[in-house]
Structure 1
């Protein structure tokens, strides 16, 4: 069981312009007074893939089991982890329409990355002035723009 000292707050964002197209993602990890920023980009991707990648990279960066509050402005990510993923796994990565789940390899990666942790998935309305969400958005945009 994670110790109360091992609480990490994570803020993630990802996006593309246009969608699909070049994309960037970012994650900000806060542990006590320490902070770490992670970013990355992909020349050909989608908004959803960048949102998922941000969450994967953030959780994979943790070196031991932690209690985590992961803030995302993606209802796709939050609903996927809180509501849909158990059914997808049970149905061999098929959705309610019996079609293959989009981005299933990233969902599998996120499920594995979250497994050692106690994760609370918290949705934050994007572009609503939340300082950490706005910062993650700026970092993701900079990562995308760095592609040239």
Structure 2
């Protein structure tokens, strides 16, 4: 199974609502052993850090044409921790309600994330900086 590393960068880094951009780099090794990458970016008005991170992950997973081992590198500890704890699957089973009864924020994105992530073996790594950070920041300007 091919391993794909996904590196995520966003222009929003705090819990505020504003216009923001995201970028991701999908990094993999070709059959000849050479490393290759694909960069994607987008933007959303009136967004948040968590929304942009989720969108970048979803759009990246949607580009994969076969089942892969996917390592998602992000500095968004909330998205990483929620995913690793299996909360999105628990929310789906409880009809997108939290234990408190409150509705899950960004549930449409979490639904899309689950749909895409189930096609692959996924893991998260907290990553405050990476080799692709400069390239991704260029995409965001």
Q: Tell whether the structures are fold-level matches, with TM greater than 0.5.
A: yes
TM-score (norm 1): 0.82
What is the CA-CA distance between 1:15 and the residue it aligns to? 3.5
Q: CA deviation at 1:93?
A: 0.6
Partner residue in 1 for 2:32: none
**Equivalent residue in structure 1 for 2:110, among 87, 107, 110:** 107
Q: Partner of 1:145 in structure 2? A: none
Give 1:77 deviation, angstroms: 1.4
Tell which has more relative contact order, 1 or 2 (C-alpha 8 A, sep 6+). 1
* Structure 1 residue 132, shift from structure 2 partner: 2.9
1:134 positional shift: 5.3
CA distance 1:80–1:139, change in 2 (3 Å): farther
Match of 1:43 in 2: 45
Contact 1:65 / 1:116 at 8 angstroms: preserved in 2?
A: yes
* TM-score, normalised relative to structure 2: 0.85
> Which segments of 5 or more consecutive residues in structure 1 lack a partner in the other structure?
143-148
- Other structure's SS at 2:97 match: coil
The residue that corresponds to 1:91 in the other structure is 94
Q: CA deviation at 1:17?
A: 8.1
Say whether residues 1:116 and 2:119 are aligned partners.
yes
Which residue is 1:77 aligned to? Answer: 79
Q: List alignment gaps of at least 5 residues for structure 2.
A: 30-34
| 2-structure distance, mates of 1:62, 1:82 | 21
In the other structure, the counterpart of 1:146 is: none
